[in-house]
Amino acid sequence: MLKFEIIETDNKARTGILTGTHGTSKTPCFMPVATAGAVKGVKWEEIEKSGYSLVLSNIYHLYLRPGIELIEKTGGIHKFTNWNGLILTDSGGFQVFSLGDLMKLTEEGVYFRSHIDGSKHFFSPELVVKFEEKIGVDIGMVLDECTPYPATRDYALHSLERTYRWAKRSIEARTSNKTAIFGIVQGGVFEDLRVLSARLTSGLPFDGIAIGGLSVGEPKEDMYNITSLVTPLLPFEKPRYLMGVGKPEDIVVAVEYGVDMFDCVMPTRNARNGTLFTRNGKLNIKSARYKTDERPIDEECDCYTCKNFSRSYLRHLFAAKEINALILNSIHNLHFYGRLLEKIRKAIKGQKFSEFKQEFFANYKVDKDSCYYNL
Amino acid sequence: MLKFEIIETDNKARTGILTGTHGTSKTPCFMPVATAGAVKGVKWEEIEKSGYSLVLSNIYHLYLRPGIELIEKTGGIHKFTNWNGLILTDSGGFQVFSLGDLMKLTEEGVYFRSHIDGSKHFFSPELVVKFEEKIGVDIGMVLDECTPYPATRDYALHSLERTYRWAKRSIEARTSNKTAIFGIVQGGVFEDLRVLSARLTSGLPFDGIAIGGLSVGEPKEDMYNITSLVTPLLPFEKPRYLMGVGKPEDIVVAVEYGVDMFDCVMPTRNARNGTLFTRNGKLNIKSARYKTDERPIDEECDCYTCKNFSRSYLRHLFAAKEINALILNSIHNLHFYGRLLEKIRKAIKGQKFSEFKQEFFANYKVDKDSCYYNL
């Protein structure tokens, strides 16, 4: 049973508390990605220390390895992973639809071959709900057809219609309210289709609504435009989740539109590539300029990495290909995101989100492809 | 200034306290390997929790990356790595002599090419001592010629003679007593040469003596035989260090001969290969038999990994190639070694080393190549 309580609002931005079977999470929140049941390089206790109580996993990955039955047999996803907070699982539709020739879509569901061993499998909306209930996740995402970019208007229309039919089947398939189910808005970059999908999905008795199919290669303008268009059309009282987003600047902007939940591989993946987040923007630890730099990554950061190690040491570990580089970088980046969301919640609470945003963008050097200033 | 105090003895086995510039370590001790200034996959706080206060690093590796000058400039090895305990550095002679064609040995020292970029370098006994003093290690090993296996008696004799001449030059090169210097006994598998080398090395004013050139491919019998022969010939009042050893069973046996210090990549390297240590012997976490095994690696282990995760989950993480598998396995294996040494010290203190050893071998399934029972 999922409960969502909105605590404060500041224009369209809001703070809230999400209560599921395994705990609560303050919103707006960012969900660290634990694709295979572990946040790469980071321990659960470190996840908690950075302010997270809700993580994301992936049914497609868990289904292939270690298998839904195995997780069920060993007591469910929480016992198996020993993560004692909330878990949301993506259906893995995005991963399945990325398989290209290894995937065949029908009205009934999707046939696909494993990216691991080529074995044949089938996912339907009903099966995905069943898997999510079996392993006992707190929030399960429905199986949707993630519309690729670019796609024709026709394709996007058919795709969102199918996603809607699948959404209804997903709701029919539910057998327990221990696992909440979120619907997903599709429609590509077509405004009218997004409005249609938002209205259709909002009309169904979901526990929350996600905006899917963004951050899939479309221009930043479209991502911001669609998010700002769709978010206010979603039920006010339900949690709103912008899937796969994103950069710190994207999160700040989307919170202003009224989004409550985010997930992205960026903090951990960037960490493994040597890209670290600071209040002033990204920092490439591989750069020779940090060779003898004795400062921490970010002097205002209170993460384990910043409290203990210099840029010089972190650069050395990365150059020497030490696992510890990935670990320490990942801890920092996730902490940065955790603290960012904490600041966002505090700003909304104090009715100062607009000031916060202004200050954030005054300090943070956004990526070149960011269209924030063009909006 | 290194101080070594022997606290208790139990036949030839002894416990002691080693006090260096950056703290103390109880002996017998095992040194986790931090080749490049980090124990692969494990944080310093976890190293401390497993009872370690002395780690091993490597001058050859640090010299090539990040460089001796850089470490000196950023405040020395302790400040650079933020490890606040004792550090012993191997000279890297073993690594240099493994370079084969990329290495040229002269009486003056050894010319070699970097395994990283092929650049040309030169190490001499004097330079190694200088590097060790520059970065401020607590204990520096002399540059020696690590006699390979197999080697002719003639080769081994010339090699130990050179090692002796270099040992004298190393002592001459010292400029500070903040960095203690250990000599190294060589002589291959030739008993008379080992006796000669032990006597020569013991005659020099070193702070401790190591037995080198074992665990380099020779039969186990030779390793045990040479260690049991050499150890009692070394000065009683100085710490004795068996380099690169070893397996849990090797450590137990060598402690009985009177060895005080050990190092080996085994706990961390095995961890990364999925081999875990338990009180009953090694366990291969990749095995299908652990698929749904909800027990920890070792039910009597109190490490972070065993207190939190099942064999089933660890097997899954390893199969899914998650970094966390390496991290959690490494934490466990180092904890196992840390606890083993703790038990060894306790047994010696209680004059019960012989009972401890008997119990250890009654439970622990030794490797097939171990000759323990043939001794």
State whether B351 and B243 are in the same domain: no
pLDDT value at position B373?
A: 55
Q: pLDDT grade, residue A368 (50/70/90)?
A: confident
Residue A167 shares a structural domain with residue A239:
yes
Q: Which domain holds residue B128?
A: 3-263
- B106 and B57 in a single domain? The answer is yes
pLDDT, mean of residues A244-250: 96
Q: In what order do the strands lie in the sheet with A120-123?
A: A103-105, A110-113, A120-123
Low-confidence ranges of chain B (pLDDT < 70): 371-375
Residues B279, B219 within the same domain: no
Pick B65's closest partner by Cβ from A304, A319, A323.
Answer: A319
B367 is catalytic: no
Q: What are phi and psi of B114, to 5 degrees?
A: -60, 135
Number of domain units in chain B: 2
d(CA B263, CA B29): 9
Burial B158-178 (b: 16+ CB within 10 A, else e): ebbbbbbebbebbbebbeeee
Q: What is the pLDDT of residue A38?
A: 98
Are the Cβ atoms of B36 and A317 closer than 8 angstroms? yes
Last residue of a domain, one of A241, A264, A287: A264
How many Cα atoms sit within 13 Å of B370 on the Cβ side?
18
Q: Are residues A239 and A129 in the same domain?
A: yes
Q: Quick count: other Cβ atoms within 10 Å of Cβ B363?
A: 11
Please give, rounded to a whole number of angstroms, the shortest distance from the CA of B95 to a CA of chain A: 16
B205 and B115 within one domain: yes
A375: in domain: no
Q: What is the dihedral of CA A256, A258, A263, A268, to 10 degrees?
A: 20
Asked if the structure places residue B134 within a domain, the reply is yes
Model confidence over A316-342: pLDDT tens digits?
Answer: 999 999 999 999 999 999 999 999 999
- What pLDDT sits at residue A372? 64
* Banded pLDDT at A375 (limits 50, 70, 90): very low
Q: How far apart are CA A291 and CA A280, in angstroms?
A: 20
DSSP A213: S
Q: Is residue A30 pLDDT above 50, yes or no?
A: yes
CB-nearest to A38 from B42, B44, B322 is B322
Both A227 and A285 in one domain: the answer is no
Residue in chain A lying closest to B272 (CA): A323
DSSP A8-55: EEETTEEEEEEEETTEEEEESEEE-B-TTSS-TT--HHHHHHTT--EE
> Based on the domain organization, do B89 and B170 belong to the same domain?
yes
Interface of B with A (CB under 8 A): 36-44, 61, 65-66, 70, 73-75, 80-82, 291-292, 294, 304, 308-310, 312-313, 315-317, 319-320, 322-324, 326-327
- For B293, what's the count of Cα atoms within 13 Å in the CB-facing half-sphere? 19
Q: Indicate whether B247 and B310 sit together in one domain.
A: no
Contacts of B320 in chain A (CB under 8 A): 36, 61, 65-66
* CA-CA-CA-CA torsion sign (A138, A258, A200, A124): negative
- Tell me the pLDDT tens digit for each residue of A169-209: 999 999 999 999 999 999 999 999 999 999 999 999 999 99
Q: How far apart are CA A204 and CA A207, in angstroms?
A: 9
A374 domain-assigned: no
- Please tell me what DSSP assigns to residue B20: E
Say which CATH number the domain at B136 has. Answer: 3.20.20.105
**Residue A73's closest chain B neighbor by CA?**
B292
Domain assignment of residue B375, yes or no? no
| Tokens 């691991």 sit on residue | A116
Minimal CA separation from B66 to chain A, in Å: 6
Pair (B312, B197) in one structural domain: no
Whether residue A369 is contained in a domain is answered as no
Give the tens place of pLDDT for each residue, A288-299.
Answer: 999 999 999 999
CA proximity to B221, closest of B40, B372, B25: B372
What ipTM is given for this predicted complex? Answer: 0.96
Residue in the structure block whose two tokens are 């590539």 = A273
* A74 contacts B292? CB cut-off 8 A: yes
| B142 in any annotated domain | yes
Q: Average per-residue pLDDT in chain A?
A: 96
Q: Which residues of A are catalytic?
A: 90, 263
The residues with which B103 forms a beta bridge, in sequence order, are: B112
Domain boundary among B263, B291, B307: B263
Average pLDDT over residues A15-24: 97
Name residue B188's amino acid: G
Is the predicted pLDDT of residue A373 greater than 90, yes or no? no
Q: In this structure, is residue B346 part of a structural domain?
A: yes
- Shared domain check, A316 and A177: no
Of B138, B260, B263, B298, which is the active-site residue? Answer: B263
CA distance A239 to A207: 8
A322, closest residue in chain B (CA to CA): B40
pLDDT-above-90 percentage for chain A: 95
- Which domain-ending residue is among A239, A264, A289? A264
Same domain, A19 and A165: yes
Contact, A187 vs A196, CB < 8 A? yes
